[in-house]
Copies of this chain bind each other. A is one copy, B any other.
Amino acid sequence: MEYDFLSVTLNPSLDREVIIDNFEVGNMYRIENPSNSKMEPGGKGINVSIMLSNLQMKSIVTGFLGGHIGRVIQSKLSAYENITMNFVYSEEESRENIEIIDPLKEVMTLINSKGPFINDEDYDHFLRRYKNSLSLVEHVVVSGSVPPGLKTDVYSDLMFEAKKRGKTTYMESIGPCFEKAILNNCPTVVRPDFRRKAEIFGKTLESIDDFIDASKKIIENGARLVVMSYQIFGDVITTNEGVWLFNPEERIEKSHLFGAGDAFMSGIIYYIINYNFNYFEAAKFGMASAISKTDYIEKKIGTLEDIKRSLSRFSIERLE
């Protein structure tokens, strides 16, 4: 195939990453060093495409862009030679997200906006492009939030179209659209986005057993691999063969976690496309990619060598 995968980001953003030591509410800061204030195209699907572009993987990105900010996102994305854009233009402006990273206190403060309203005509247009793009790839990742105006079965419908055509599907998200997709057209690889709250199927996950139960429920729905981040640094990994806990063997700076989830998903996709469909091994490669990412404060993945080296940087404990 000409492209390795298709990535869907319904709600792309322009990410403003600001690094401020000892960030406190009520102050006035002046960023003196330009490298402490970056502007990057974002949204979880786009992040995966960017990270894998750096590993020479070719992808098509689709979703909605709008207005001035949409044009900035497009122009910045066009700098990546392995990314082909196939966006639909919405009437309203694309969103900007703000990420304030404090490396000293090791805290991140995130301010995300909702995104532009998508009308039915734009969605129909998108759906035609999505179906056309599906014929060009074997792997589809759908990640991130859903902009206003779209129905809650949007993710379920996208999965239905992909699965009907026999594609391998990957999804990272949270909320009603995500849950509907899991229940009706479950993706192959699922990573719930627990950054705000570990809550799924109407239940807040607290104990490790809660995480295991929820993971197994997703596997029962047809997923082959479920990755759930547990207690910040650890990850509960579930396949048809069992449940494991992956734990880094080193102290990781909290402020470096930004983008680690996207790196995890990127590693899984890279492994499955380039090596094979062993989901447990793919999860290990994903964890290694996430840990390799945490060597940087920015949203940046390491080289293939860095990732392979990071395979020994975490412990694996069998839970079930």
Q: Which residue of B lies closest to A31 (CB)?
A: B113
- Most B Cβ at <10 Å: residue of A23, A25, A31, A112: A25
Q: Does A278 contact B (CB under 8 A)?
A: no
Binds B, one of A67-75, A284-292, A306-314: A67-75
Q: What B residues does A102 contact at CB under 8 A? A: 25
Of B27, B68, B100, B108, the residue contacting A71 (CB under 8 A) is B68
Q: Does A198 contact B (CB under 8 A)?
A: no
A100-130 vs B: 1/0 string, CB under 8 Å? 1010010111111110000000000000000
Contact A31 B114 (CB under 8 A): yes
Taken together as a complex, chains A and B put the C-alpha atoms of A27 and B93 apart, in Å, by 25
Contact B25 A112 (CB under 8 A): no
Contact A26 B108 (CB under 8 A): yes
A37-49 vs B: 1/0 string, CB under 8 Å? 1010000000000
Q: Which residue of B lies closest to A68 (CB)?
A: B72
Q: Which residue of B lies closest to A98 (CB)?
A: B98
Q: Does A163 contact B (CB under 8 A)?
A: no
Q: Does A196 contact B (CB under 8 A)?
A: yes
Contact B25 A107 (CB under 8 A): yes
Contact B26 A107 (CB under 8 A): yes
Contact A111 B24 (CB under 8 A): no
Q: What B residues does A29 contact at CB under 8 A? A: 109-112
Q: What B residues does A72 contact at CB under 8 A? A: 68-69, 72
Taken together as a complex, chains A and B put the C-alpha atoms of A26 and B20 apart, in Å, by 12
Contact B31 A111 (CB under 8 A): yes
Q: Among residues 28 to 70 in chain A, which have CB atoms less than 8 Å away from a CB atom of chain B?
A: 28-32, 34, 37, 39, 68-69
Smallest beta-carbon distance A35→chain B, Å: 11
Q: Does A165 contact B (CB under 8 A)?
A: no
Taken together as a complex, chains A and B put the C-alpha atoms of A72 and B69 apart, in Å, by 8
Given contacts A31-B114, A96-B16, contact A109 B68 (CB under 8 A): no
Q: Does A195 contact B (CB under 8 A)?
A: yes
Q: Which residue of B lies closest to A117 (CB)?
A: B34
Q: What B residues does A27 contact at CB under 8 A? A: 109-110
Taken together as a complex, chains A and B put the C-alpha atoms of A118 and B110 apart, in Å, by 32
Interface residues of A (CB under 8 A from B): 16, 18, 20, 23-32, 34, 37, 39, 68-69, 71-72, 75-76, 93, 95-96, 98, 100, 102, 105, 107-114, 195-196
| New A-B contacts (14) at CB < 8 Å, excluding given A24-B25, A28-B110, A31-B113 | A16-B16, A16-B98, A23-B25, A25-B25, A25-B100, A26-B109, A27-B110, A28-B195, A31-B114, A32-B114, A34-B114, A68-B75, A98-B98, A100-B111
Provide a sorted-by-A list of 16 A–B residue pairs whose CB atoms are within 8 angstroms.
A16-B98, A18-B111, A23-B25, A24-B25, A25-B107, A26-B107, A28-B108, A28-B195, A29-B111, A30-B114, A31-B111, A32-B114, A37-B113, A68-B72, A69-B72, A100-B111
Across the A-B interface, the 3 shortest Cβ-Cβ residue pairs? A28-B110, A26-B107, A68-B72
